[in-house]
Amino acid sequence: MKKNLKARITTNHEIAPGIYEMIILSKELSLEGFPGKFVNLYLEDGKHLLPRPISICEINAKEQVLRLIYAVLGKGTKKLSMMKENQEIHVLGPLGNGFTVEKGTGKNIVIGGGVGVPPLLELVKQLEGATDVYLGFRCNPFLVEDFKKYADNVYLATEDGSEGHKGNVLELLKLQNQEGDMIYSCGPKPMLKAVSEWAKNHNIDAELSLEERMACGIGACLVCTCKAAETGDEDWEYKRVCKDGPVFSRDEVMWE
Amino acid sequence: MMRPSLKVNIGGIELENPIMTASGTFGSGKEYGDFVDLNRLGAVVVKGVSSVAWKGNPTPRVAETHGGMLNSVGLQNPGVEEFIKKDIPFLRGYDTKIIVNIAGKTVEEYCAVAERLSKEDVDMIELNISCPNVKEGGVSFGTNRDMAEYVTREVKKYTKQPLIVKLSPNVTDIVEIAKAAVDGGADALSLINTLTGMAIDIHKRKPILANVVGGLSGPAIKPVAVRMVYQVAQAVKVPIIGMGGIMTGEDAVEFMLAGATAVAVGTANFMNPTATTDILEGIEKYMSQYKIKDIKEIQGSLMI
């Protein structure tokens, strides 16, 4: 059940250049959280009317907290990054359809890119099967140590070569001759498209989490759509990333 | 003490209160039903419906601007048959009025939707001749006096429900278009739809919206909307549904003072999922502060 509430911020600080960690305290949200879902954060300043949709990185029901990792990309997220500990924030969530954890009983391949990496952490924590994780960044990787706690193997790629393989995660995937039964991925569209093709070529099922500019976040306004089709259906339609997604199955998404 | 009356009358239909939803911001109410008691809304104005399914525009379809937002959804909808099958039964489960916003690329398409809905259990029709995001139809009918009158008159022939005409602010003289719609047989007017606008990503040197331009809504447009409601209220006798950046009960009262009979809440729903009922409570608070027993005492009571 979605909650519309005020939650207290317990942590809000920079963990990598332009990347922030916010921890919010809410028993209700911590009980409803699920890998791949997101929350709307409202700035309520009269200038930034639209909520910021932020993926859930980790859920801790025992401590009643949600961990959110976000990138400062514009004025709204800049303002978010300036919120202080103990301040209250208006939160709506959890929203959207998350990953199907139940599909992950075999050998899993988890592939994240940039700011698409955070929602994969809670997923990896919950997956039953053996899991190999591929993380790609332009530079300045984050959360890598967190993934090492829960994954069997973590492979790292940076575009500038400052850490791990110099290049992208797809190259790394091919270098490792990676095999598996299920792929989960979140990241920029070109990466997801490449992952989707790789998965298709290797006949591996995949779930992909998309990002799009949103307004309502609950499926009413139809601004955050993506081209999608039922499996084998050539007639596509615009589906809502916030409500039908953000996680879609491999064959559902029609790439431009 | 007697509870103050918030009842309003639009085209012979009595609404429990003046709060409506602005078409396109509330779907058909399903999504907001998780947060808002839909029974408390005077009416739900559903997202624009056309005779067949429309895919809508490419993304990005939204850009946030200072105190407002641009959208270029382009009236994506599953078509009137899907709407009748799925949304009417859902909304009939609630004690609220159903107003169906209808869209078309041609006069014939508008008439076809109106005729199809005339056999269905809906309370009113809102004729959308003001969407800036579709290439054909939409705003082209709403920016020309003769076209506005003609399309209203034709649709009126096919509808059995009261007909509201939703006007565009992207005109030289809103009063002229308002009068034309009334001459065509409009039972009420909705104003304003979004103002055409644009936003640019200076780093990419590209428009933010894939459609290049879009419709501006939110508090940024409220003074324009209040002015237009005021001007039109002076010139026509039919009820006006005022909208454009209403975020609070005070904003709603402002529109009613300017001459609106009812108000519609749009962009505020995105900023606060319970905006509709919060605004209703704000109006009640204003009425109690000034000991107003009937909301009709507010409507058009601006003192100049």
For chain B, the domain total comes to: 1
Average pLDDT by stretches of 10, chain B with 304 residues: 88 97 96 96 97 93 96 95 96 98 94 96 95 69 92 97 97 97 98 96 96 97 98 98 98 98 98 97 97 96 91
The structure's pTM equals 0.94
Q: Does a structural domain hold residue B114?
A: yes
Quick one: fold of A99-208?
A: Rossmann fold (3.40.50)
Q: What is the CATH number of domain A212-256?
A: 2.10.240.10
Query: What angle in degrees, to the nearest 10, is found between the helix axes of B249-257 and B222-235?
Result: 30
How many angstroms away from the CA of B31 is the closest CA of chain A? 6
Q: Does a structural domain hold residue B101?
A: yes
Chain A residues whose beta carbon lies within 8 Å of the beta carbon of residue B25: 216, 220-221
Tens-digit pLDDT profile for residues B238-281 = 999 999 999 999 999 999 999 999 999 999 999 999 999 999 99
ipTM: 0.92
CATH number, residue B72: 3.20.20.70
Domain that holds residue B107: 8-298
Name the residue among A46, A51, A226 with its Cβ closest to that of B67.
A46
What are the structural domain ranges in chain A?
A: 3-95, 99-208, 212-256
Q: Does a structural domain hold residue B304?
A: no
CB contact under 8 A, A4 and B55: no
Tens-digit pLDDT profile for residues A14-32 = 999 999 999 999 999 999 8
In chain B, residues 193-222 whose CB comes closer than 8 Å to chain A: 218-219
CB contact under 8 A, A237 and B55: yes
Quick one: fold of A3-95?
A: Elongation Factor Tu (Ef-tu); domain 3 (2.40.30)
How many angstroms away from the CA of A27 is the closest CA of chain B? 19
Q: Taking CA atoms, what residue in A is nearest to B28?
A: A220
Q: Does a structural domain hold residue B256?
A: yes
Q: Taking CA atoms, what residue in B is nearest to A241?
A: B59
Tens-digit pLDDT profile for residues A197-206 = 999 999 999 9
